[in-house]
Homo-oligomer: A and B are copies of this chain.
Amino acid sequence: MSLPHAILTALLEKPSSGLELTRRFDKSIGYFWSATHQQIYRELGKLEAEGLIRALPAEQPARGQKKAYEVLPPGRAELARWTGAAQDPKPVRDALLLRLRAAAVVGTAGLEADLRRHLELHERQLAEYREIERRDFPPGKNGPQDRLRHLVLRAGIDLETFWTQWLGHALSEFAHLPDAGEAEPSGEPRA
């Protein structure tokens, strides 16, 4: 139940149309809460119906027209409530770790290449985060909101750092593993 709140946050930072929101979700906010444009449009409709946001009175609201939204007081209140309410972390689901575990049973064939690919993706993401940090959080900037936002970015950086390190470690393990195959002494002879 977080997408509406992600949208409220984005709209409070800057009133936007659906497509503008979509673009921003592909950058800053989407780094830790991704969403497709269809999700966003649907949610904008709901939020408007609930009276939490409203369309800024632009020209004519015809099709193919930009329609910008802003947050209404009840929307801000709801966001504040949600932010402060207790929430349980949702259970982990990580396919890569699952695949590694499966590999222990059915063999590692093909996995190494994908680990390498993931490593590259995470390295790229890490580089991007560092660039954002350099650009948006120079040493002087440390008002309360800056500190909070920097904290979030730090989480992103540290997470990507973890993944790159772990993947590096995993690949080095693969390097001296009894190649591919069942990886199981008791496995049946293949074919």
Identical copies of this chain, number: 2
Name the distance in Å between A170's Cβ and chain B's nearest Cβ.
Answer: 6
Which one of B8, B96, B108, B113 lies within 8 Å of A102 (CB-CB)? B8
| Bound-complex Cα distance A53 to B92 (A) | 26
Q: List 9 A-B contacts (CB under 8 A).
A: A6-B98, A12-B106, A29-B101, A31-B92, A32-B94, A83-B107, A84-B109, A85-B114, A89-B95
B residues in contact with A107, CB < 8 Å: 80, 83
Chain A, interface size: which category?
35 or more
| Bound-complex Cα distance A111 to B178 (A) | 49
A19 part of interface (Cβ distance < 8 Å): no
| Bound-complex Cα distance A131 to B154 (A) | 29
| Bound-complex Cα distance A94 to B92 (A) | 11
Name the distance in Å between A72's Cβ and chain B's nearest Cβ.
Answer: 13
B residues in contact with A126, CB < 8 Å: none
B residues in contact with A169, CB < 8 Å: 151, 154
Q: Is the interface of A mostly helix, strand, loop or mixed?
A: helix
Q: List which A92-151 residues lie within 8 A (CB) of chain B.
A: 92-111, 113-114, 117-118, 121, 143-145, 147-149, 151
| Bound-complex Cα distance A76 to B169 (A) | 27
Chain A 150-184, CB-CB to B under 8 Å as 1, else 0, gives 01101110110010011001100100011000011
| Bound-complex Cα distance A102 to B139 (A) | 23
Which of A34, A94, A143 is most buried by chain B, counting CB atoms within 10 A of its CB? Answer: A94
- Assuming A106-B79, A151-B169, is B178 touching A144 (CB within 8 A)? yes
Q: List which A49-106 residues lie within 8 A (CB) of chain B.
A: 76, 79-80, 82-87, 89-106
Q: Is the CB of B151 within 8 A of A117?
A: no
